[in-house]
Amino acid sequence: MITVSKIATKNQEHFVKESILEVQNITKEVNSPEGVLTILKDVNLTINSGDVTSIVGPSGSGKTTLLAIMAGLDLPSRGRIKLMGHEITTMNEDKRAQVRSNDVGFVFQSFHLLPRLSALDNVMLPLEILGDKNAKKKSLEALDQMGLEKRVRHLPNQLSGGEKQRVAIARAMVKQPKILFADEPTGNLDKTSTEVISDLLFSINRSSQTTIVIVTHDLLLAQNCETMHELNEGSLKC
Amino acid sequence: MLNGFYYGLKKFWFDLRNGDLIILFSSIVLAVTAISGVSFLGDRLQSSIKQQASVVLAADMAFRSASPLPDDYLTSATNQGLGVAKTVSFLSMALANNDNLLASIKATTSTYPLRGSVVLKDFKGEVLSNEKGTPNSGYIWVEPKLVDALNLKQNNQLVIGNRSFVVEAILDDYPDRNVGFLAFSPTIIANIADLKSMGVIQTGSRVVYRQLFSGTEKQINLFFDSVSSLPEEVRVQRLDEVGDQLGRTLDRSTRFFNLAGLFTIVIAAISSMIAARRYATRHLLNTTLMKVFGASKKFILSSQICQLLIMIFLATSVGLCCGYLIQSLLISLLDELIGNELPPPSLKPVFIGFLTSFSLVFAATAPYLKLLGEVEPIRILRDDFAFHLKNNIGIYTLAIVTLTVFLLVLLEDVSLVLSILGAMCVLVIVLSVLGYFVIWLLSLYSNVSGSGWRMGLRNISRRRNTSVLQIVVFGLSLTFLMALTETRTDLIESWKETLNEDTPNYFFFNIQDYETDEINSFFKSKLEQPITFTPLIRGRLLGVTSSSGEPIKAENMIDREANLTWFDTLPENNLVVEGEWWLSDAGAPSVSIDKDIAASMNLSIGDRLSFTAGGMNFEATVSRFSEVQ
């Protein structure tokens, strides 16, 4: 069993639940050969600090689009997003990048580890962007906490699926974000690895009070979350 | 911004080691090597030509006149910090040991020569250490021909006009060798202070007065600009003019190298663009992730620019070293032709090397840098890591314009650059159409049996644009190679065509009458065949009398020196175009004239020409027009 007791201490004092993410009347439309396609329709959602929230729904329901908009990776056609007090829907890309750089972590279904970088170099990447002089030390600690101390110099193609996702989680958590967005974090994993990664995410939440938003098909994982939302044809149901 | 530079610096060696930058790096090294190799060679040859030109003049600039020049020019030049000297040259009889010979006297000031040096030997043939370029008053230096002809010994007396001189040394070499009527007589250098006491320069004597100036190019230009209204008869001799003939030969070969350089740059530009695309594609995931993790556009661009700047510096340095080595190799191959040691290169090739790499890297990477800077972080969730260049015509146009401007600056030949680039565009269109056609044909056979063939053919069809790009690049490279080979052959052939068959490799000039027997017997023993001597004398046309009353256009020929020769029998290479060859008993002298010169002067058979040559005036009737092969 992997523990995350040492990870992220800066949020541990936030026991009073307050909203960290507010989604107000979000609509997302895109142009397609068939005309304007509505992917999200008047979505409203509030996520409290320290919560683990899951968003489920069938393929094409708009889950990933909603996650991208909530995390500031994309902009809605209409509506507002307030992330950690910042109205990110009125910001330009560089301003949103600044919000993401300090307090937002990401985990992806395809891991997105850089293939020619070692596990350590992959984890160091977010800290190097911030110019953190202790990037190597912090990254080694993060990998250690993920149980990957013997995989530090390994390249992604020398790691199993579960190990790759643990490296990705270490990379997401190394800068101690306030909120972690996970897009299908167990989508590419076998049953055993799925359990390990699920436990790891909940363990992180418990130890560091990091807010976690998970978009998933995995109902077992979704049901273990404090709050579960279902997205269907662009509309949200609690 | 600084964070971005620091990040780029840290990742540079990693990217170079992992092959992301190595193709781009190699392309730049190749282009800089090719361009700087030619540039180093041309630069050193040009410097050498300038140096040789200054030795030809014995100065950086000279005023030449048939009448005395006022000393005001020398005073003004001295005041402006220039080195100055004066020479007076003329023909006079030299008498010694009861014998005489027509000699070319050069009287010089003690500052002569301003460029180059006078080399002296003693009568035992040993080179004397000599700092001076002018003997002391009462002494002279003489050329070996004079020593032989007059049987001179050290400290013999030699008389020129009213003055007797002591022969101090043998003149082995000196700059500004005589030309024109002075060139055919052996030279004596005397001190200009003794000129008056010789008493040989009279009114009407043929004399060349020269004032020599030396200084930096800027000083010379300033002085020349400050000299107002030079008399018409004063001819200004400058380095550019003297080096012009040598320079033109160099220019022709440089144009061939430039053509090769242009092809190299275009090929290097194409490979750089392909390498840049590969680099950008491999960095797209990286860059997108960095954006997701909070990197700004400025951070991304500064890290990429930092890497490219380091790469430009390293690749250019390596390219310059390789270019210098290639140039050294070429010079060692041309050693026999070049002869003396070339001066070191200037910084111009280094500047050209950096300009080459900056232009290439900018043209190749600008479109991709723009895309990397603007990549949307949302791509990470779509797994979309493909480049879409359709909306970037502007940046591509800028890249092509940069490359064109660079080539124009480098080659300074608008017609060459535009015609090659134009032809290249046509070739790209033809090859693209051909490429798409071939791929369409192949797609018709994509259901052939054999899974290997089927997969291969389908792969070509699926990656149609990449396949066409490969065909175009391959076709361009082959065309360039063929064009270069053809141009090289054409160059050599056209040069050969300018020479007649059996054109001699060597000519001997200035052979005196008393030397012909000795030379003839030498060549008879070496070549086992006699050699032909052609008599030559410099003469001057004084006037023309038309026999038909037709107006004569002789303004350009009158008072100009021309080569005159004479034969008893018609030479083999001489064709009579009009008129007849004269008979030895014809009585009055007659002349044969080159048909082109005759046409330009509107001469007719029977016209009478008056000449002066070798101190004699004579008249001759035009008896024929000829064509000399």
Which sign, positive or negative, has the C-alpha torsion B344, B345, B346, B350?
Answer: negative
Residue B447 has pLDDT above 80, yes or no: no
Residues of A in contact with B285 (CB under 8 A): 112, 114
Q: What is the pLDDT of residue A123?
A: 95
Residues of B engaging A, defined by a Cβ cutoff of 8 Å: 3, 6-7, 10, 18, 285-286, 289-299, 376-378, 380-381, 383
Residue A102, min C-alpha distance to chain B (Å): 8
Beta-carbon separation of B292 and A98 below 8 A:
no
CB environment A37-53: b (16+ within 10 A), e (fewer): eebbbebebebebbbbb
Residue A34, min C-alpha distance to chain B (Å): 20
Which residue pairs, CB below 8 angstroms and at least 24 apart, start in B530-538? B534/B565, B535/B565, B535/B566, B536/B563, B536/B564, B536/B565, B537/B184, B537/B563, B537/B564, B537/B565, B537/B613, B537/B614, B538/B180, B538/B181, B538/B184, B538/B562, B538/B563, B538/B564, B538/B613
Predicted confidence band of residue A2 (pLDDT cuts 50, 70, 90): very low
Is B357 within 8 Å of B28 (Cβ atoms)? yes
Across B285-303, average pLDDT: 90
Per mean pLDDT, which of A150-164, B490-504, B533-547, B554-568 is the most reliable? Answer: A150-164
Q: What is the pLDDT of residue A10?
A: 41
Beta-carbon separation of B381 and A129 below 8 A:
no
Whole-number percent of chain A with pLDDT over 90: 60
Across A1-27, average pLDDT: 61
Between CA B357 and CA B363, with CA B361 as vertex, the angle to 5 degrees is 120
Q: Which residue has the higher pLDDT, B72 or A12?
A: B72
Is B269 within 8 Å of B24 (Cβ atoms)? no
Beta-carbon separation of B294 and A68 below 8 A:
no
Radius of gyration, CA atoms only, chain B = 35
Token pair of B133, please?
């370029």
Predicted confidence band of residue A13 (pLDDT cuts 50, 70, 90): very low
Predicted confidence band of residue A5 (pLDDT cuts 50, 70, 90): very low
- Which residue of chain A is at minimal alpha-carbon distance from B302? A129
Residue-wise pLDDT tens digits, A104-116: 999 999 899 998 8
Q: What is the pLDDT of residue B599?
A: 84
Beta-carbon separation of B298 and A94 below 8 A:
yes
ipTM: 0.87
What 8-state DSSP symbol labels residue B126? P
Predicted confidence band of residue A234 (pLDDT cuts 50, 70, 90): confident
Q: Which among A99, A112, A128 has CB closest to B285?
A: A112
Strands, E assignment, B215-254: 235-238
**What mean pLDDT is reported for chain B?**
81
Is A51 within 8 Å of A201 (Cβ atoms)? no
Q: Which residue has the higher pLDDT, B248 or A191?
A: A191
**What mean pLDDT is reported for chain A?**
87
Predicted confidence band of residue B450 (pLDDT cuts 50, 70, 90): low
Residue B292, min C-alpha distance to chain A (Å): 7
Across A32-56, average pLDDT: 91
Residue-wise pLDDT tens digits, B546-576: 887 777 777 766 656 677 888 777 777 778 8
Residues of A in contact with B294 (CB under 8 A): 97-102, 104, 126, 129-130
Q: What is the pLDDT of residue B501?
A: 65
Beta-carbon separation of A73 and B380 below 8 A:
yes
Q: What is the pLDDT of residue A182?
A: 93
Which three-class secondary structure state does DSSP give residue A151?
coil
Phi, psi of A20 (to 5 degrees): -105, -20
Q: Which among A98, A99, A116 has CB closest to B18?
A: A116
Per mean pLDDT, which of A204-213, B49-58, B92-101 is the most reliable? Answer: A204-213
- Bridge partner list, A214: A54, A182
CB environment A200-213: b (16+ within 10 A), e (fewer): bbbbbbebbbbbbb
Q: Which among B18, B293, B376 has CB closest to A125?
A: B293
C-alpha separations of B616 from B80, B252, B422, B512, B568 in Å: 45, 43, 62, 19, 21
Left if phi > 0, otherwise alpha if psi is -120 to 50, otherwise beta: which for B561? beta
Residues of B in contact with A213 (CB under 8 A): none
Q: What is the pLDDT of residue B248?
A: 57
Distance, in Å, from the CA atom of B468 to the CA atom of B434, rounded to the nearest integer, reads 9
Which three-class secondary structure state does DSSP give residue B424?
helix
Q: What is the pLDDT of residue B81?
A: 92
Residue B147 has pLDDT above 70, yes or no: yes
Is A66 within 8 Å of A231 (Cβ atoms)? yes
Q: How many CB atoms lie within 10 A of CB B222?
A: 14
Q: What is the pLDDT of residue A9?
A: 39
Across B224-253, average pLDDT: 70
Across B145-155, average pLDDT: 88
The label of the residue with tokens 């008879």 reads: B524
- Which residue of chain B is at minimal alpha-carbon distance from A99? B294
| Complete DSSP assignment for B379-422 | HHHHT------TT-HHHHHHHHHHHHHHHHHHH--HHHHHHHHH
Q: What is the pLDDT of residue A105?
A: 93
Beta-carbon separation of A100 and B286 below 8 A:
no
User: Of all helices (H) and strands (E), which one includes residue B210?
Assistant: strand B207-214
Across B27-48, average pLDDT: 84
Beta-carbon separation of A106 and B293 below 8 A:
yes
What 8-state DSSP symbol labels residue B32? H
What architecture is the A19-237 domain classified under in CATH?
3-Layer(aba) Sandwich (3.40)
Whole-number percent of chain B with pLDDT over 70: 85
Q: Which residue has the higher pLDDT, A233 or B563?
A: A233
Q: How do A179-183 and A211-215 pair as beta strands?
A: parallel
Closest CA to B105 of B43, B17, B178, B167: B178
Distance, in Å, from the CA atom of B547 to the CA atom of B621, rounded to the nearest integer, reads 10
- Provide the residue type at B155 as one letter: N
- Which residue of chain A is at minimal alpha-carbon distance from B379? A73
Beta-carbon separation of A129 and B290 below 8 A:
yes
Q: What is the pLDDT of residue A6?
A: 34
- Bridge partner list, A86: A83
- Provide the residue type at B595 as one letter: K
Beta-carbon separation of B294 and A183 below 8 A:
no
Whole-number percent of chain A with pLDDT over 70: 92
Residues of B in contact with A111 (CB under 8 A): none
Residue B448 has pLDDT above 70, yes or no: no
Beta-carbon separation of B292 and A73 below 8 A:
yes
Residue-wise pLDDT tens digits, B335-386: 766 666 778 888 989 998 999 899 889 888 888 888 888 888 888 888 887 7
Which sign, positive or negative, has the C-alpha torsion B600, B547, B564, B557?
Answer: negative
In angstroms, how far is CA B542 from the centroid of its own chain? 37
Q: What is the pLDDT of residue A78?
A: 93
Q: What is the pLDDT of residue B159?
A: 92
Is A193 within 8 Å of A221 (Cβ atoms)? no
Beta-carbon separation of B381 and A67 below 8 A:
yes
Which sign, positive or negative, has the C-alpha torsion B126, B129, B134, B139?
Answer: negative
Residues of A engaging B, defined by a Cβ cutoff of 8 Å: 64, 67-68, 73-74, 93-94, 97-102, 104, 106, 108, 110, 112, 114, 116, 125-126, 128-131, 183
Strands, E assignment, B491-549: 537-545
Helices B22-57 and B348-374: crossing angle in degrees, nearest 10, is 160
Instruction: Compute the count of residue pairs across chains A and B with CB atoms less than 8 Å apart.
Output: 68
Residue A193, min C-alpha distance to chain B (Å): 22
Closest CA to B95 of B189, B196, B165, B169: B165
Q: What is the pLDDT of residue B564?
A: 80
Across B227-255, average pLDDT: 68
C-alpha separations of A158 from A111, A152, A164 in Å: 14, 11, 9
Distance, in Å, from the CA atom of B328 to the CA atom of B333, rounded to the nearest integer, reads 9
Which sign, positive or negative, has the C-alpha torsion A38, A44, A49, A54?
Answer: negative
Q: What is the pLDDT of residue B391?
A: 60
Residue B275, min C-alpha distance to chain A (Å): 18
Q: Map out the domains of chain B as residue ranges.
A: 1-56+247-252+263-412, 67-232, 419-498, 537-628
Beta-carbon separation of A67 and B295 below 8 A:
no
Q: What is the pLDDT of residue B479?
A: 85
Between CA B216 and CA B220, with CA B217 as vertex, the angle to 5 degrees is 85
Beta-carbon separation of A100 and B294 below 8 A:
yes
Residue B397 has pLDDT above 70, yes or no: yes
Residue A83 has pLDDT above 90, yes or no: yes
**Residues A164/A169/A171/A175 CA torsion (nearest 10 deg):** -170
Residue A74, min C-alpha distance to chain B (Å): 6
Residues of B in contact with A101 (CB under 8 A): 293-295
